[in-house]
Structure formats: C-alpha cells, structure tokens
Amino acid sequence: MTKAIELGQSYTFSDYSKLNYYREDIFAYFGYSFQSEAVTLPQYQGQLDRLESLRQRIEESLPLVTLDSEAARREFLIAPVLMDLIHYTRVKVKVSYPLAVNDQLKGALDYYLQSQNHLLVIEAKDENLQRGFTQLGVELIAIDKAIAQDQQPESQRLYGAVSIGNIWQFGFLVREKKQITQDLNLYRVPNDLEDLMGILVAIVKKDEG
C-alpha cells in the first residue's frame, strides 16, 4: 500500500492541497486509482434563458472588482454561476457543508449539490488548480464512503469541479471502479460560460437510474 500519508495522523480536506505528494499516491492510499484525460462531459441541450444576462453581469463587474482574495472570487465569479444553476435545476446547494467520515477524511465542502450525481464544487486555495484538484479528489472519496455508510441510493458517478473563479476544471469518481478522472479541459469565465453552464445543468439534471 502507498505510504503517502502516515497512519494515525489527522487531516482536513484542505490539508491535502498543501501536501507535497503526488495526487495518485494520496488517492491510492484510500484505495482509488487516478487518471487524467480529455473528457466529453454531458451537455444540456435545453434553453438557458439567463445565460446572456449572467455573462453581461460578470463582464460588467470584472474590470471594477479586485479578485485577489478568495472571498471576492467566491462572491463575484463562483456564486453567480451557482445561483443561475439553482434557477435552471432547483437543486439545493449546501454551503460550507461539514462532512466527517474519519480522522483522515473530514472538513467542510465549499458547495455540495445533492442531486442524483452529487455535484461538488470547491474553490482552489491560492488559485492553484492542480492542488485544488487533489483536495477535490479526496472530498469525492469522502462523499463516496459517506454514501456507502448511509446506504443511500447508488450513483454510478460522483462529479466535482474545482474553480479559481475565472477558470473551472471538472473531474468525476466512478464508484464501482474506485477510479478518479481529471478532465484536462479548462472552462473560462466568461468566455466559455455557455459550455460551463451547460455541463453543470446536465450533471445536476442527469438521471442515471
């Protein structure tokens, strides 16, 4: 077994974004494999009636807002996207949702959307997408284990996204294979807003049965 983490030590989710270990070693410690590849994610085909309004609001505010803090990125870039996602899907969003599976899998999930596919969105600390994805992967592992413990209805995939506000990256966990995939594609805000919102809506609305 990979010794990326010392047994008996306590970690919060955000701690994993600071560890100087390969993410595949961290995931392997919990029994999950990792791959990184370009992925064709689901895309909503219906009408997104507020998309242009959202784009205009973001473009109008960007030149006037200093985005050098996590609070600013959350309020002016991430939250508006999620608010419109709520409009399209009526999904419930849990903010700073506490989750504790064990001493090595505990902390607060930035945004947890408890749909059929359990979409998780986190903000990358220090604007580092790569380290942010490590944290995202560990949180997806925690959700997988929590669902299994609670004997909730099975979902084939758990989706997640990590964002630094103006850039988003997706990933997912295939539960049966215990495999985490990082999508190599990046989605920019506001340039790729239509694709980004289409993916988010499709993930939340998708019924895998």
In three-state form (DSSP H/G/I as H, E/B as E, the rest C), the secondary structure along 64-119 is: HCCCCCHHHHHHHHHHHHHHHHHHHHCCCEEEEEEEEEECCEEEEEEEEECCCCCE
Residue 121 belongs to domain spanning: 13-205
Output DSSP code: residue 122. Answer: E
Classify residue 145: in a domain, yes or no: yes
Phi, psi of 169 (to 5 degrees): -140, 140
> pTM for the full model?
0.92
Phi, psi of 113 (to 5 degrees): -105, 105
- One-letter amino acid of 187: Y
pLDDT one-digit tens code per residue, 143-184:
999 988 776 556 789 999 999 999 999 999 999 999 999 999
What's the confidence (pLDDT) of residue 151? 63
Supply the angle between the helices 51-61 and 193-205 in degrees, to the nearest 10. Answer: 130
Output DSSP code: residue 151. Answer: T
Classify residue 137: in a domain, yes or no: yes
pLDDT beneath 50: ranges in the chain: 1-2, 207-209
What's the confidence (pLDDT) of residue 71? 83
Classify residue 3: in a domain, yes or no: no
What's the confidence (pLDDT) of residue 65? 82
What's the confidence (pLDDT) of residue 63? 85
What's the confidence (pLDDT) of residue 127? 83
Bridge-based pairing of strands 157-163 and 119-123 is parallel
Classify residue 28: in a domain, yes or no: yes
Classify residue 6: in a domain, yes or no: no
Classify residue 4: in a domain, yes or no: no
Classify residue 8: in a domain, yes or no: no
What's the confidence (pLDDT) of residue 3? 56
Domain count for the chain, please give it.
1
Classify residue 1: in a domain, yes or no: no
